[in-house]
Amino acid sequence: MTDLPPSGVFAFEEIGVELDLIPLAAHRALDVAGRHLSLAAWRNLPIEKRRILLDQGRGEVDQKAVQAVTDGAEPPAEPVAGDDEGRLEAPPAALREVEPTLQDIGRWLQLGKLERFALCHLSSKRATTLTSALDEIVGPRFLTHLSAQGEARMVDVGNKPKTHRRAVASATVRMKPTTARMALDHSGPKGDVLATARLAGIMAAKRTPDLIPLCHPISLSRVAVHLDVDVDRGEIHIKSATEARDRTGVEMEAMVAASVAALTIYDMLKAVDRGMAVEEVVLLEKSGGRSGLYRRDPGAKP
């Protein structure tokens, strides 16, 4: 099974290429064409026919084409009233409550029919996947940091609940092996590299809102910085972990901690190795909040 969902299937549906459940796009095609298929009937359809229904739901639905596919279904498809999709013109109240950015009807109509169908469908069923669906469909499309005129602003988090937040970030400093040996031996020109870098990372995390323009001040409950020296490869690996119980995430705090620890290593050793490089500052993991858990795929290239 491939990692990417088939075209027309949303990632949050977690339906693979064999289409073992009825995807929302197929639900839409069936609704418009006025046919109901049980899960058993869907699974009895040959995969090519399931793909046809999936495909139909992605654009303008050809009712006759959908009906032709379902005519051979076993158990037979039930005729139901066809959906003229008039209700997709405006988001239902329940949906607007959960996602206030959809109060703006212009933004709602920027979404495609399949996306609007999916959100209405999940909202009416009070599905547990509605939150993931909103993140996938609405999240990336409406950049919440830019106002209508493209002015940058801090997002209003006042209504968000405080939840437990955690983030882990890493950075690597590349240097000559002899330089790395100095860091380990505490024989660098400016003194104890590792202890200084660790402290710098921790202190920097606490100042993140002053450094990153649109970050919110957060009450950090924990900051930890861990350093690992690999003399043979000439690398120092930094890992930072941050925690808070707050309204917004602590990813930037973790990334600032890792970055500043790295820069401090550079400062402490630059007299003996100006060619050092700060590399690969990445978020490894975050948890908490509406978007939930993220874990970096170890094989991924940014």
Partner 1 sequence: MSELAAQASKSQQSVRILAFAGVREVVGSDSFEVTLAGPCSVAELLDLICARYPALAPRRPSVRLAVNGAYAKPGEPVAPGDEVALIPPVAGG
Q: List residues near partner 1 by CB under 8 A.
A: 1, 13-16, 18, 20-22, 39-40, 43, 125, 127-129
246 among known catalytic residues: no
Give whichever of 43 and 206 is closer to partner 1, judged by the CB atom. Answer: 43
Q: Which two tokens stand for residue 13?
A: 């549906």
Given the structure tokens 């026919």, which residue do they identify?
A: 49
Query: Positive or negative CA dihedral for 198, 200, 202, 205?
Result: negative
Task: Report the SS3 class of residue 28.
Answer: helix
Which of 3, 31, 267, 297 is an active site residue? Answer: 267
Closest CB 36 distance from partner 1, rounded Å = 12
Give whichever of 125 and 141 is closer to partner 1, judged by the CB atom. Answer: 125
Give whichever of 101 and 129 is closer to partner 1, judged by the CB atom. Answer: 129
Closest CB 250 distance from partner 1, rounded Å = 24
Closest CB 129 distance from partner 1, rounded Å = 6
H helices then E strands: how many in the chain? Answer: 12, 7
Give whichever of 212 and 293 is closer to partner 1, judged by the CB atom. Answer: 293
- Identify any residues that bridge with 236 across adjacent strands, giving them in sequence order: 173, 229
Report H helices in the chain: 24-33, 39-44, 47-56, 63-71, 93-98, 105-110, 113-124, 130-137, 177-185, 193-206, 208-211, 251-269
Task: Report the SS3 class of residue 224.
Answer: strand
- Identify any residues that bridge with 164 across adjacent strands, giving them in sequence order: 245
Closest CB 61 distance from partner 1, rounded Å = 19
Alpha-carbon separation of residue 269 from 61, 273, 276, 277, 279 (angstroms) = 65, 6, 9, 11, 16
Closest CB 13 distance from partner 1, rounded Å = 7
Give whichever of 189 and 292 is closer to partner 1, judged by the CB atom. Answer: 292
The residues annotated as belonging to the active site are: 267
